[in-house]
Copies of this chain bind each other. A is one copy, B any other.
Amino acid sequence: MQRYFINQNADINQRFCINDEGDIHHISNVMRLQIDDYIIITFADHYVYKCKIVNITSSKVTVTLEERINIDTELPQNITICSGLIKADKYEWMLQKATELGASAFIAVGMKRSVVKLTANKIAKKIERWQKIIKEAAEQSYRLVIPNINYQASLNEVFQQVAAYDYILIAYEDAAKQGEVSNFKKVIKQFQHNDRILVIFGPEGGLAEEELALFNEHAYNVGLGPRILRAETAPLYVLSAISYEKDLLS
């Protein structure tokens, strides 16, 4: 059944409206739903309801809440994926997959070795495009939140926010070559419910020395196994590993 988001808290006694053009188009023209058909709606308070369509116009789809669905699809930790800018198609794939895999937020950073640069006038359009990709992926994978994405011109800006995180991990290529195989697992096992984790990934060229040094004792340098992972793959390894460790029971 199709899922949509409504940015209000659920109330079983009220009618609600979907106003988002893209969603209305999807409901009317793609799924061809009609009055009395059902859709699933996730509300701002993370409640999820099976809803009945009671009216459809070109600007609004009105629903009543019929039955609560009890499923928690969020990771127990908030994971922010902070990546150096990489080629557009690879980055968009990664956003989609990382959203399926439970990322809470994304920060795209113009890192020293990024081959791709973003000029100021292009940022807004990119953010809009990325946010759309993330929203679609969040809906399809039954996420309770739509991850946010923003852009920072360098890691210095990200560093200003260190206090906002409980843990900062840097995934760097040399760890694989040097055989570092324990930091990642040790630190993941320490994560508590609702901890805010920032994970930093370099662009295709890797992180520069000064970027690694910037976070210093604020961050753990972690190896992600003995294989070299591409910039767009490493975040998926991290999210899968955290889900395996925290979502699944032994």
Contact = CB atoms under 8 A, between A and B. Distances in A.
Given A100-B229, A140-B228, A240 B250 contact: no
Copies in the complex: 2
A249 interface: yes
Contacts of A244: 184-185, 225, 237, 240-241, 244-245
Q: Is the interface of A mostly helix, strand, loop or mixed?
A: loop
A236 interface: yes
What is the interface residue range for chain A against chain B? 35 or more
B250 A243 contact: no
A73 B226 contact: yes
Given A73-B227, A237-B243, A240-B244, 19 more contacts: A71-B177, A93-B93, A100-B227, A100-B230, A100-B233, A101-B229, A102-B225, A141-B228, A141-B230, A142-B228, A181-B247, A184-B248, A185-B249, A185-B250, A225-B248, A236-B236, A237-B240, A240-B241, A241-B244
9 contacts: A100-B227, A101-B229, A141-B230, A182-B249, A189-B250, A223-B248, A225-B247, A227-B243, A237-B243
